Structure 1
Amino acid sequence: MTEQIEMPEESLLPKGAGAQLRLAREKMGLSIAQMAERTRIPQRQIMAIEAGNLSALPGRAYAVGFARTMARESGLDEEAIVAAVRVELDQLGPTERDQRQTYEPGDPARAPSARLVWISAIAVLVLLVGLFMAARVLFAPAAQLPSLVEEHEEAGQSTGTDAVAPAAPDPSGAVTFTAKDTVWVRFSNSDGTRLMEGELAAGQSYTLPADASGPRILTGRPDLLEVTIAGQAVPPLSTLPQTVSNVPVDAASLLARTAAPAASASPAAIPPGAQGAASRRPAAAAAPTRAGTATTVPADTPTASPEIAPAPERDADGTPESPVQ
């Protein structure tokens, strides 16, 4: 603590803050250089303050701050010296330099408060955290999404390994034909023996008998017949409204067919008589035959080979009947 210097009575004090500061320095036996070394104030600034040439200082804040520091070092009343300096500065009027300077160095009254310092520190910390997060988002490597191609391949491999293919129908299973609409049809053995001939109504089914020998079919609307083997659907005989004749319909033959009705006969390959028999066969009363519920024709209805036009049957007296047109 600097020793308090006894000053003359107020009436005897020199006029001006600068003169009082010079008198106090001289009483302490300090030179301007020594005062500059103690206060860290340039010598030219000390000389200007002591001479009362406050306009030579960088600004109002410097004049007040330097005067306060010199008064503290000289043991004078800081507030009294600062008040005197401000009065002298007010008499000089504001300068452009003073308007730019808002903080008085060395003036504790103008120093920022502890609260302001803490608020500023928190604001700086928040700003640094925000900058860090932004830099992390911008420069950190982005997360890689899983490859859709690899997932698809893995799914395909899993499906190929785990999936169970549907079992093929049993070749020894029963063959059933179900009509989607009213359709005329004839089933016969390979030797020409009729198994069933007549119309199947919509939803009506016919199952080939288990002892059928090389069963074959003749119909003009194979597209209206659904085929199943042991209750399992198989491809239809044809998807077109055309005449099929002498087509094997046992389970083994049906399973050997492809999905497309390749074995279907073309209407042009069927003699006109067979087409007429298949497409214009008159309806008859429903009656059961060897297997299943189906519609048959009277016993005197002519029969024919499935591949050609119906051949006339003979009556009891040996007279051939005319084929049905």
Structure 2
Amino acid sequence: MSERTSETGFVPVDAVYAGTDNAYTRLSAGERLREARTAKGLTLESASARTRIRRDYLEALETMDPRGLPAQAYAIGYLRTYARFLELDEAALVEQFKAEADTQTGRATPTAPQQTREIKLPRGLIGVVAILTFVALAAWWYSSAISGDSVFDDIPRPPDAQLAEGQSDGVFTTELSQLAATDIWSNLPSLNPSDDAIPDLTLRASAPVFLEVRDADGRILFSRELRVDETYRPLREAGLTITAEDGGRVMVENADGDIRPLGEPGQPVTDAPLYRQDNTDPT
């Protein structure tokens, strides 16, 4: 009996196949790949770097897990490249892998795990949908209004519409008298009162000059600089006062065409009465 026979008469399985051509029949295709890689002293990372095959693909081939592999054509190509790199029989290893993968998983086509695809709506799509919905509702409402069909047909008419059709109880049957516009606006106080006894004056600037006119209560009626030949016609109202930085630059003209300066040339005029108390002549 062989040296490897135990005292109990048990013969190890590896002793049966030792030295024969069927030594690989006890290993799966993935185990053959892993055994050949470790025999070369390579890790999955180093094998991936040298074969340019992703590490997870190599690991899926060695663990016989088709779920971690791409489509069948790519997986078989990776398997051939990996077997050639490890100096294994490519054809035999491919056939063994197909048979074992089909037996273990019930499917002959290794597939990679499907990734969940997240569906994202384009930016602004919700706003566009809301606008289109609003436009559609507006168009429907407008078409209903044009055709005469309305959801508000059952609403009762307002009382004034009934009165216009002669269905009133006589309360508003009396016609109002027609008033002329002249009657409405008659006897109203004037917004620009004038005294016929006060002369109609025009103030003209012979040179640029600052001018200010106040009423009897001290309220400013006019206050700014007049340009050359610019005029100002004050109200024909008693109690007006005038202030000018140079009385000689302000020419006072009356309705008769008389022209005289407001004051002496170069002399300022301050709060001087624009009209005399008898309201007949200007100052």
Instruction: State which structure, 1 or 2, has the greater radius of gyration over its C-alpha atoms.
Output: 1
Which TM-score applies when normalising by structure 1? 0.26
Which TM-score applies when normalising by structure 2? 0.29
